[in-house]
Amino acid sequence: MKISGSGNDFVLFNNLDGRIKNRKNLAVHVCKYKYGIGADGAIFLEKSRKADYRMRIFNSDGSEAEMCGNGLRCLIRFIHEQKISRKKSFLIETLAGIYKTKIDYPDVSISMFLVKKPELNLTVEIEGKSIMLHSLNTGVPHAIIFVEDIEKIDVKKYGPLIRYHTIFQPFGTNVDWVQVIDKHHGKIRTYERGVEDETLACGTGIVAGVICGAMFEKFISPVEIIARSGEKLHVSFSPDFSQIYFKGGTKLIFEGQWINR
């Protein structure tokens, strides 16, 4: 089944029986455009001893991600569409921790959290220019850069230069450019690690961008963010960031059987 979370698309598999062993190889094949289904990543629903279910997510390049906000929203929609459970809320285990989720069809909300203490006001040198950014981990690492106009950003050029910068080694980072419209509205563009390109939406990036903005009093809860896809996603949070909620729509693209011949 293929589901899109605000333009961030995934191929989802029911692997509760553990039949699929080589997830990395399958992810690379199904995510290829022209030769596969085409997607930003592949997600596998699996059993968990700590939560209701476990999510394993592999990017289109075969690398495994610790967490993916839009991917998790799509997984909950998948559980609903496959009639795997009649519940409306779930605890989902990921490599970044356990997340509380709730479906209000077709929207899905996630209770998010900061995995590590943010590193603010970092300076990196890119082609002789100093760029101020902030590093937040909302399940995966994100470098947040505030700009006046995201339309003027060359994401394909600067994304890889920051993503692979020595300051973020050995694992690298996702890169997000955030434009503040007002205290409750903003826009974002993201270069995603593992996809190695700009994506139409990134859930963990949106949350990281909003929370980072709130730390500098640029945003006040609730915040509506326009992703590159044009869709609007919502982030709300408590003053001390102990409670963070991320909500957005999901869209079922198709369901079928993968045949690799």
The sign of the CA dihedral 246, 199, 132, 97 is positive
Q: Which residues are catalytic?
A: 68, 202
Other Cβ atoms closer than 10 A to 33:
9
Confirm if 61 and 195 have CB atoms less than 8 A apart: yes
C-alpha distances in angstroms, 164 versus 140, 161, 188? 15, 6, 20
The sign of the CA dihedral 75, 5, 247, 107 is negative
Give the residue carrying structure tokens 């990543």.
41
Rg over CA atoms, the chain: 18
